[in-house]
């Protein structure tokens, strides 16, 4: 019994007043510290309206474009969610990152499932090793039946396994999904190769119910994927997978002899992705999401109808539950400034272009600066009239393609051009040189005709410079 359990909501959330994320090198074992709300102070908290609250999508992008921890975002999320994995006063930042890797894999795959782009663009995230590299192979065991295998390794800190899944013993996991004329078997296990630990997810897709030798062929392929492709006789893994076979109703004992002859005789070919892969990819998302859902229970007393009387022992299980309830809406976009991904809720207004307010401001500043530079270039170097410059530089603002608050009338656009010119040091120098030259100041005259400078401004500048009017 943990005293913090008193403040736990049916959704598994432990409400916090404050969350602090330590700064420093990740390897130093940084953590996130939570300050909890007192039990019994105020009314029990209700979950926020479903669309506004933090979701698995937000957890997917905790690092910024340079792979540094985004402390501002992490603290903002952590303050809303509280500890993710249970009644913890601190949680390792590394565990949050491991969860983040899991979330971004699920979201990347789901976004591909939901995409309506042509295949070449749609499956691009699977070919990018910085995104979610999934391989698809066609396996042909000699004398057996061909099947497809989709494999993904999610980099995860080895110490995070306990925090995320409670128990390392639950791996390897084998799950079976039968739908229409497809029989999918998902294998999930903890792999280890020279690049560190990973969560290996392999989905084997058959066109008919599998035989025991199919299962063993899948086992040897999976075992080698856990070891980074090496063929390895791991007895513990083998016996654990055999046990799973029994619970799925597959009798492997008689096939085991035959299977040992099979070893090394499976031919395989890389296969390109196509739209027929989509239902299997959907099952991969289900497999990843279900890792966090096996702890969910039903309780008529502690929960309500809204959440189907479900109770969640920790908040991460609730977040994944809500994620699977609206998989069809998952869509991601990349920030136009820094390239970081973010979640877009499908079909809600004009899509966002930037990952954060900072990037939005950066983009806006860059745009304002380039417009300012263009005004100066066009007026001073190319000697275009202000009205022409306004039409060129502010074409978008003058059109009806922009929102009302960004729209400009022709007059406003021209005034903006004038403002951009006078604030420019090189413009001031050019005015001064023109006045001093005593050659009739053609540039200043042009400025006055175009309304960039007023007669008063020019007179004042002449007197400031101490220029005597010519006799
Ligand atoms: Zn950005």
Distance 361 CA to ligand 1 centre (A): 10
DSSP string, 157-201: -TTHHHHHHS-GGG-SEEEEEEETTEEEEEEEEEEEETTEEEEEE
Residue 124 in tokens? 């691009």
Nearest to 94 by CA among 8, 29, 44: 29
H/E stretch holding 135: strand 134-141
Distance 449 CA to ligand 1 centre (A): 43
Task: Write down the ipTM of this complex.
Answer: 0.98
User: Residue 421: CB partners within 8 Å, gap ≥ 6?
Assistant: 375, 376, 379, 427, 447, 452
Distance 417 CA to ligand 1 centre (A): 29
Distance 359 CA to ligand 1 centre (A): 5
Q: Cα-flanking dihedrals φ and ψ of residue 66, to 5°?
A: -95, 20
From first to last of its 471 residues, what are the pLDDT tens digits of the chain? Answer: 677 888 888 889 999 999 999 988 776 789 999 999 876 655 555 555 444 578 898 899 888 767 788 888 899 999 999 999 999 999 999 999 999 999 999 999 999 999 999 998 999 989 888 788 899 999 887 777 789 999 999 988 888 888 888 877 788 899 999 888 889 999 999 988 777 888 999 999 998 888 888 888 888 889 888 877 666 667 788 888 888 888 888 877 766 555 554 555 678 899 999 999 999 999 999 999 999 888 888 888 877 777 778 889 899 999 999 999 988 888 888 888 888 888 886 555 677 888 888 889 999 999 999 999 999 999 999 999 999 999 999 999 998 888 888 889 999 999 999 999 988 888 999 999 999 888 888 999 999 999 999 999 999 999 888 877 654
CB 17 within 8 A of CB 35: yes
Distance 339 CA to ligand 1 centre (A): 6
Distance 154 CA to ligand 1 centre (A): 24
Distance 99 CA to ligand 1 centre (A): 21
Distance 353 CA to ligand 1 centre (A): 9
Nearest to 331 by CA among 350, 346, 315, 341: 346
Distance 130 CA to ligand 1 centre (A): 17
Distance 175 CA to ligand 1 centre (A): 38
Distance 332 CA to ligand 1 centre (A): 13
The residue with tokens 């008063």 is: 456
Measured CA distances, 104 to 99, 118, 163, 330, 424 (Å): 9, 22, 18, 11, 46
């Amino acid at each position: 019994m943990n005293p913090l359990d008193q403040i736990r909501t049916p959704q598994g959330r432990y409400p916090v007043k404050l969350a602090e994320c330590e700064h420093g090198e990740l390897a130093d074992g940084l953590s996130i510290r939570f300050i909890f709300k007192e039990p019994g102070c105020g009314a029990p908290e209700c979950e926020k309206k479903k669309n506004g609250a933090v979701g698995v999508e937000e957890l997917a992008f905790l690092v910024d474009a340079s792979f540094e921890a985004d402390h501002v975002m992490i603290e903002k999320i952590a303050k809303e969610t509280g500890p993710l994995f249970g009644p913890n006063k601190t949680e390792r930042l590394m565990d949050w990152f491991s969860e983040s890797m899991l979330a971004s894999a699920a979201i990347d795959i789901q976004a591909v499932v939901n995409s309506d782009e042509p295949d070449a663009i749609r499956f691009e995230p699977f070919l990018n090793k910085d995104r979610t590299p999934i391989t698809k192979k066609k396996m042909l065991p000699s004398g057996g039946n061909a099947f497809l295998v989709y494999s993904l390794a999610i980099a995860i800190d080895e110490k995070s396994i306990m925090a995320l899944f409670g128990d390392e013993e639950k791996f390897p996991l084998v799950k079976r999904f039968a739908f229409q004329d497809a029989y999918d078997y998902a294998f999930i296990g903890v792999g280890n190769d020279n690049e560190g630990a990973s969560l290996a997810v392999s989905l084997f897709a058959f066109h008919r119910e599998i035989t025991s030798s199919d299962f063993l062929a899948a086992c040897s392929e999976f075992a080698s994927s856990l070891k980074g492709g090496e063929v390895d006789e791991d007895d513990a893994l083998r016996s654990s997978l055999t046990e799973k076979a029994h619970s799925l109703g597959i009798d492997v004992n008689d096939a085991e002899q035959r299977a040992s002859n099979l070893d090394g005789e499976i031919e395989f070919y890389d296969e390109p992705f196509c739209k027929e892969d989509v239902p299997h990819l959907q099952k991969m998302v289900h497999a990843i999401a279900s890792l966090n859902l096996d702890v969910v229970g039903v309780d008529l007393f502690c929960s309500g109808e809204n959440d189907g009387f479900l109770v969640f022992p920790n908040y991460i299980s609730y977040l994944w539950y809500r994620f699977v309830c609206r998989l069809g809406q998952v869509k991601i976009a990349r920030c136009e400034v820094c390239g970081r991904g973010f979640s877009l809720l499908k079909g809600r207004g004009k899509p966002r272009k930037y990952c954060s307010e900072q990037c939005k401001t950066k983009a806006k500043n860059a745009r304002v600066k380039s417009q300012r530079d263009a005004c100066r270039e066009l007026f001073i170097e190319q000697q275009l009239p202000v009205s022409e410059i306004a039409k060129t530089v502010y074409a978008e603002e003058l059109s009806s393609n922009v929102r009302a608050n960004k729209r400009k009338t022709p007059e406003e656009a021209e005034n903006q051009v004038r403002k951009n010119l006078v604030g420019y040091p090189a413009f001031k120098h050019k005015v001064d040189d023109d006045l001093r030259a005593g050659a009739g100041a053609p540039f200043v005259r042009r400025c006055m005709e175009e309304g960039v400078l007023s007669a008063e401004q020019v007179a004042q500048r002449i007197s400031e410079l101490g220029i005597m009017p010519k006799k």
